[in-house]
């Protein structure tokens, strides 16, 4: 209830589960991750969930659980907009129980195994590249590839992929083995400064591809990791001495 009028708010609850020795829970609200944290652990043949005014105890094996709630409105418990899931606690508990039961029945216990993020990315990368590039029609950024891969990782592992881990370890390792991914570019990181002509060039994949060194301007390169020191040198015009 909000204001002085009572109303029933419709919602759709989707619950996916994969048996795993390490319980993990991801909650999405209208397909977006919710703020705040919820605890999930397995003890005495029960899967226990606590958080967001939610307290569930489900007799089930440990599992990775993904919950998606589709609704036009949900109460919040803090200024950080953490959702109050107690209004649908019974439905969530029943949904988790049924999802884990289906997962347990669908696979022989001997072959139950949760894929790693690396395995999921390797399996779906070709499809994700095709989606991000419009089947090879145009260039795409590393972040666009991340968003194309993200749904596959959430569905298979129940976990939100970490962007930095995705860039550095997953895609970095893939390109080290297979070479650069065609059509993909990376955003600007750092700046190239031309002395004497006072020109700043943001350094990214496309800028590097199009770069042409001006003739007779400099014959050395000074690399500065800390940007604050770089600005000091510019202010003192020390770059003109190079």
Strands 32-33, 12-19: parallel, antiparallel or unpaired by DSSP?
unpaired
The DSSP element (H or E) to which 173 belongs, if any, is helix 172-178
Q: Which residue has the tokens 């397909």?
A: 31
CB atoms within 10 A of CB 166: 21
Q: Which residue has the tokens 């060039």?
A: 201
pLDDT of 107-121, one tens digit each? 654 444 667 888 888
Do residues 69 and 52 touch, judged by C-beta distance below 8 A?
no
Q: Residue 215, exposed/middle/buried by CB under 10 A (0-12, 13-18, 19+)?
A: exposed
pLDDT of 48-68, one tens digit each? 887 777 778 888 888 888 888
- Tell me the average pLDDT of the chain: 80
Residues 6+ apart with CB under 8 A from 78: 36
pLDDT of 83-101, one tens digit each? 777 788 888 888 888 888 8
Do residues 226 and 217 touch, judged by C-beta distance below 8 A?
no
pTM of the model: 0.44
> What residue segments make up the domains of the chain, in order of their start?
12-111, 117-185, 191-241
Do residues 242 and 195 touch, judged by C-beta distance below 8 A?
yes
């Amino acid at each position: 209830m909000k204001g002085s009028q009572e109303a029933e708010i419709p919602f759709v609850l989707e619950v996916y589960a994969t048996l795993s020795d390490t319980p993990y829970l991801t909650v999405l609200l209208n397909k977006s991750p919710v703020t705040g944290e919820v605890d999930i652990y397995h003890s005495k043949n029960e899967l226990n969930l606590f958080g967001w005014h939610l307290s569930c105890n489900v007799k089930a094996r440990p599992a990775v659980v993904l919950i998606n709630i589709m609704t036009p409105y949900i109460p919040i418990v803090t200024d950080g907009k953490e959702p109050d899931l107690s209004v649908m606690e019974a439905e969530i508990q029943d949904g988790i129980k049924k999802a884990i039961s289906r997962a347990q029945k669908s696979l022989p216990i001997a072959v139950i195994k949760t894929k790693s993020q690396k395995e999921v990315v390797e399996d779906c990368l070709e499809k994700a590249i095709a989606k991000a590039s419009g089947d090879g029609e145009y260039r795409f950024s590393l972040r666009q590839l991340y968003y194309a891969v993200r749904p596959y990782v959430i569905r298979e592992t129940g976990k939100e992929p970490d962007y930095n881990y995705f860039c550095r370890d997953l895609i970095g390792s893939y390109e080290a083995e297979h070479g650069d991914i065609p059509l993909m570019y990376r955003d600007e990181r750092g700046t190239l400064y031309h002395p004497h002509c006072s020109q700043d060039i943001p350094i990214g994949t496309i800028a590097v591809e199009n770069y042409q060194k001006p003739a007779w301007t400099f014959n050395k390169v000074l690399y500065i990791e800390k940007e604050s020191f770089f600005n000091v040198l510019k202010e003192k015009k020390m770059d003109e001495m190079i």
